[in-house]
Structure formats: structure tokens, C-alpha cells
Amino acid sequence: MAINVIKPGLSTTVQDLGRPGYYHIGIPTSGGMDTLSLAAANLLVGNAAGDAVLEAVFMGPELEFTADATVAVTGADMPPKVDGEERAGWTSFRVKKGQVLSFGFLKAGARAYIAVSGGIDVPVVLGSRSTYTLGVLGGFKGRKLEAGDQLPVGAGKAVAEGRTLPENLRRKPGMPAELRMLPGLYWHRITEAAGRNFFEDTWKVAPEADRIGYRFKAGRPLEFVDREQPFGAGSDPSNIVDACYPYGSVQVPGGTEPIVLHRDAVSGGGYFMVGTVVSADMDLIGQLQPHTPTRFVKVTMQEALQARHDRKAVLDAITAALV
């Protein structure tokens, strides 16, 4: 079976849980930005949690099905429609041969996950079906979908329509969004006052927010501790000798606009970083729209590990509810 792409949406890519293991040569993990929603979508249609789905940002695609399939849409609130008739999100529904799946306007969140029973069956590259657009690697021809593409779909299990995920297991960013961050890396490069301001200020998601990284603005510029720049670093006080960037690390080029690196991260570079968003909050970033007010919340390692534990408990509860 296959899916014909009638309209691709704004930037729709094939994603699974990613390809770890190649970051040391600059190939990032990729994979769904909101992995909890991705896993839930898969489980709703009887797939394995890490099967390949479509990740649609801000605007959904229009897809024609060449055979019957079970579908679920999770993540952003962007109502799915079958031949124009609305279906519930976070709930499995049937799409029959020849029917068209489309989407209404985005109401909340940023990325919808569209799982199809059997999974999107593009070739596995370096252990994953995820798209890494910058490297033209994986996914469907290494790029976002275009009209006329024909997506292969694997053989699915038969599952019931109307399977739904309880409301309390649908994790969404708050308002303002709060991203827990462990200070570190080159935190010592900014003054104490700048460090306080960083956590006090309410930032706003900038338009330049994508799978590589999310940029934030509207906070006060960071003031640097004076130093003579080390050899090889470059002359700007925000420059360092090019180093690795952790996933979730928060770099602040020029001390003005923080960028949180995400699943398609550039693996390294020459900008200092003030810390790292905890792994538990990475999913939430994928659901932030431009202009969303956002605060960085300072946490300790112990709190970061507790957050990780809590997120794992949510995933376990989702799995228990759907398997």
C-alpha cells in the first residue's frame, strides 16, 4: 500500500525515534521532535512505538490512501479530516482506499504526528528511517515531502477504531512555556547579574525555530566576564574554540538570542553555551509556536533526573493504556 501526497503541508518529514551513534561525525540523531506524541500515535494504530510516522509542522498535508488503513494524529491540535469530515485527535480512525486525509487549521502546539498502521516504509539508513534534511539523508529521499510523492507503507496489524489516549496523558507546554535548564558548559563566561536576568526574563520563540534549533528573543542581552580570547576562538566574547554541542544545549551568539539545539542539531561550533535543557523537556520544545512566551527554569542535576523519571512514567502510562 502507498500514500499519494496531494499537498505536502509546510514541512512534513518522515521521522521515527532517530539514529543515535553518528554525532561524532556531524550526523545528528534526528527523529520526532516530540517523541512522546510520536510514540502515542504509533501505539494508537497498533505499531511499535518507534515506527516511522509523518511529522507535520504548523500545517498538515493532504494525503490520498491507496488502501484501507488505520490512522492516528497526535501532538499539535490540528484536526484531521477524512474526505472533509473531521476526526478526533489522539484517537484511531479508519481511512478507506481512495479517501483523502487532510487537516484543519492549527489551534495549539506546532507539530502533528500522523501514524499509519504498518508505518511509513522508507529505507532504513544508518539504523533509522528519520529524515535529516541538511544532510539529505534518510526519510523520503532525504527531504521534506513534495506534491506527487508516493510514500510506501508497511503491512499493519488490524486494530480497532476509536482507541483513544486519556486526556491526562497528553503532555503539552504550559503558558508561558517553561524549559528546565541545567546551567553549565560555559556558564562562567557571563556575569552573575546576566545569569540572574537569563532566568528572570520571559523570552519569546523567534520565527527562526526549526528541527535544528529553537531561537528565543526579547530577553536582556547577556553581559560577559572580561577575558583575553583564547587562541583559535575568534574575537567575539561569545566565541569559543569550536567544540561539541550537546542536544538541548543553549548557545547565545553575541550574547543576544539563545538557541536551543534540537534533534537535527549542528554537532559543534564556535559559540559558548550557558547550559542544557533537560532531556525530559525536549519534547515540549517541538510544540512551541513562534512568539510563545517561554521561561528558562534553573534546575539541579537531581531535579533533571527526577524530571526524566517523571517523563518515563508518562511514557509507561501511555504504553500501558494502549498496548
Nearer to other proteins by Cβ, of 60 and 138: the residue is 138
Nearer to other proteins by Cβ, of 26 and 166: the residue is 26
Taking CB under 8 A as the rule, does residue 239 contact other proteins?
yes
List Cα–Cα distances, 302 to 178, 213, 218, 308, in angstroms: 18, 26, 30, 10
Closest separation between CB of residue 168 and other proteins, Å?
A: 24
For residue 27, the Cα-to-chain-centroid distance in whole angstroms is 16
Closest separation between CB of residue 11 and other proteins, Å?
A: 16
Nearer to other proteins by Cβ, of 65 and 132: the residue is 132
Taking CB under 8 A as the rule, does residue 314 contact other proteins?
no
For residue 95, the Cα-to-chain-centroid distance in whole angstroms is 26
**Binding range to other proteins, per CB under 8 A, among 98-106, 107-115, 152-160, 224-232:** 224-232
Helices (H), ranges, 21-176: 35-44
- Candidate list 39, 41, 182, 274; residue touching other proteins; CB under 8 A: 182
Nearer to other proteins by Cβ, of 124 and 244: the residue is 244
Nearer to other proteins by Cβ, of 94 and 143: the residue is 143
For residue 42, the Cα-to-chain-centroid distance in whole angstroms is 16
H or E element, residue 235: none
Q: Which residues contact 79 (CB under 8 A, 6 or more apart)?
A: 86, 87, 89, 103, 104, 107
Nearer to other proteins by Cβ, of 71 and 277: the residue is 277
For residue 190, the Cα-to-chain-centroid distance in whole angstroms is 29
Closest CA to 95 of 105, 104, 85, 110: 85
Nearer to other proteins by Cβ, of 123 and 166: the residue is 123
Nearer to other proteins by Cβ, of 154 and 184: the residue is 184
CA atoms of 95 and 137, how far apart (whole Å): 30
- Candidate list 2, 23, 293, 317; residue touching other proteins; CB under 8 A: 23
Where does 58-164 show beta strands of DSSP type E?
Answer: 62-65, 69-77, 80-82, 85-86, 93-95, 100-103, 108-116, 150-152
Question: How many of the chain's residues bind other proteins (CB under 8 A)?
Answer: 55
Q: Which residue is associated with the grid cell 506527487?
A: 148
Closest separation between CB of residue 162 and other proteins, Å?
A: 34
Residue 307 identity (one-letter amino acid): A
Bridge partners of 182, per DSSP, are 276
Closest separation between CB of residue 285 and other proteins, Å?
A: 13
CA atoms of 72 and 114, how far apart (whole Å): 6
Closest separation between CB of residue 136 and other proteins, Å?
A: 5
**Binding to other proteins in span 123-142, by CB under 8 A:** 125, 132, 134-138, 142
For residue 211, the Cα-to-chain-centroid distance in whole angstroms is 6
- Candidate list 268, 310, 313, 319; residue touching other proteins; CB under 8 A: 268
**Binding to other proteins in span 27-46, by CB under 8 A:** 27
Query: In this structure, what are the phi and psi dihedrals at residue 117, rounded to the nearest 5 degrees?
Result: -55, 130
Taking CB under 8 A as the rule, does residue 290 contact other proteins?
no
**Binding range to other proteins, per CB under 8 A, among 113-121, 151-159, 286-294, 304-312:** 304-312
Q: Which residues bind other proteins (CB under 8 A)?
A: 20-21, 23-27, 125, 132, 134-138, 142, 181-182, 184-185, 187, 230-236, 239-244, 246-249, 266-270, 273, 275-280, 301, 304-305, 307-308, 312
